[in-house]
Amino acid sequence: MHGTEAPSAWVRRWAHLVPAGGSVLDVACGHGRHLRWFAACGHPVTGVDRSPEAIAAVAGVGRTVQADIEQGPWPFEGESFGAVVVTNYLWRPLLPTLLDSVSEGGVLIYETFASGNESVGKPSRPDFLLQSGELLDVCRDLRVVAFEDGFCDRPERFVQRIAAVRKRPAHPGSPPRYPLDPTG
């Protein structure tokens, strides 16, 4: 059943960068695997998707908004979030808006298909595949904590993923610390 799948390992790995109690925006949330997981972790959550079926499936999990974010206005104008989470979705014109939606001290956790995926399956159109290093370029004004661009074999796919933090002012003599391993 959609929405009951485990959250992405990438999202789970970098979720500790979300400020304690920080709100999470799940973009193109689908049936809510990340929305449900962050809500269970105690974060206020907002999900947006254009599908009425997807929004109906996540009703009651948190704040949900049905909107066509590709053709319509951005439904969160003036809002910012402790985390913006995007998986398996790419609409390049929206990238600057997504970055602007990350609050000071917040994190962008993004994972989607990359160039090369056309050799193993769908999506295969260049419009839906990130080019080499594209997320690094998009996030150049954020602090990149982690980045990967390569091939995964279960299931076979080419992916690009990033965890990037909007810096908050550092205390003199104490730069911000972004743990790479929250357990160690």
User: Tens-digit pLDDT profile for the chain (184 aa)?
Assistant: 455 689 999 999 999 999 999 999 999 999 999 999 999 999 999 999 999 999 999 999 999 999 999 999 999 999 999 999 999 999 999 999 999 999 999 999 999 999 888 889 898 999 999 999 999 999 999 999 999 999 999 889 999 999 999 987 767 777 888 888 776 5
66: which 2 tokens?
């049905």
Query: What three-state secondary structure class fits 77?
Result: coil
Kindly give, in sequence order, each residue whose CB lies less than 8 Å from that of residue 58, ignoring residues fewer than 6 positions away. 3, 29, 31, 32, 35, 36, 47, 64
Mark residue 56 as left, alpha or beta (left: phi above 0; alpha: psi -120 to 50; beta: remaining).
alpha
pTM of the model: 0.93
Residues 23, 1: contact at Cβ < 8 Å? no
Query: What three-state secondary structure class fits 82?
Result: strand
Kindly give, in sequence order, each residue whose CB lies less than 8 Å from that of residue 164, ignoring residues fewer than 6 positions away. 107, 108, 110, 139, 142, 143, 144, 145
Give the DSSP H or E segment for 33.
helix 33-40
Pick from 142, 46, 149, 145: nearest CA to 99:
142
